[in-house]
Structure 1
Amino acid sequence: MSTAQHLAVIDLLRSREFPAEHGRSECGSEGPGYHIGELLTSDTFWEDDGTRRDRTEEQYEAERDGLTVLLADRWGPPQRFSLASLFDRMVAADLGGTGADEEIPEPWAQLASAVPDLHLWHVEGRWIALGVAQWDKELPFQLLAVVTEIPPP
């Protein structure tokens, strides 16, 4: 997918109504209050020595950074938003520790499991984010675009 196609997907997700139920769309996943567009997906790394994985991760971060420049021209510089503390809160809650009764809303819980940080804008009542995900070390990288009305926790 080209940069122009990525921007078109982001614009499409921004213009769409949010669904009432969790599910899949032609762009990725969605649910009440959010859309997650899967802009790029890499190959898997089952028999990899790490070199190819590192290059792929760098390539996906470069793709995200390039889109960030274009979106910053529209909406100004993004906020850099780390999901590390959110992930730590989720792990602590799963282990019955501090905040065990805290419920992290979607799409943030899903993102915290695979995306270390986001480039984030708040535009016209919606949060728009770009991130690089890897759901597990054997799984591919993904460049994600997120549009949600749910503020970051």
Structure 2
Amino acid sequence: DKSALAGSMFPPGFDRDTLLRGLVPGSGTSALAAGLTRVGAPYVWGAIGPDQFDCSGLVQWAFKQVGKSVPRTSQQQSNFGTPVAEQDLQPGDVVFFYSEVSHVGIYAGNGLMLHASTFGVPVQVAPMGSTPFHSARRY
């Protein structure tokens, strides 16, 4: 039942190797690469990894792997780094959702994000369009 609820952890056509080609150490893309190693890890509210995550815990953990200290909550993370317009998103940018900034993920290109969404759904790459976009930052 859990796997049916979760669906695929990578959307059709998602190509991790092409996405991460030309990886720059310490960049947002490097943090994305680190985060992608956690695909399939369970969502647990308040969890910061390395084996369980909530949304902001996944972002914090991924950036920590590349030497960047990021605030803990999605609201705090939404005020960190440099603002990025939605049309200028690059893989590795951090994307925020809902008017009260209650969800966060890492942009994975082509309208996709890496995120830990909710109980019963493991860390996965999913379309951003199913969640109301609020803002984005580049760390």
TM-score range relative to shorter protein: 0.3 to 0.5
Quick check: which one's strand share is greater?
A: 1
Larger radius of gyration: 1
Output the TM-score relative to the length of structure 2: 0.32
Structure 1 length-normalised TM: 0.30
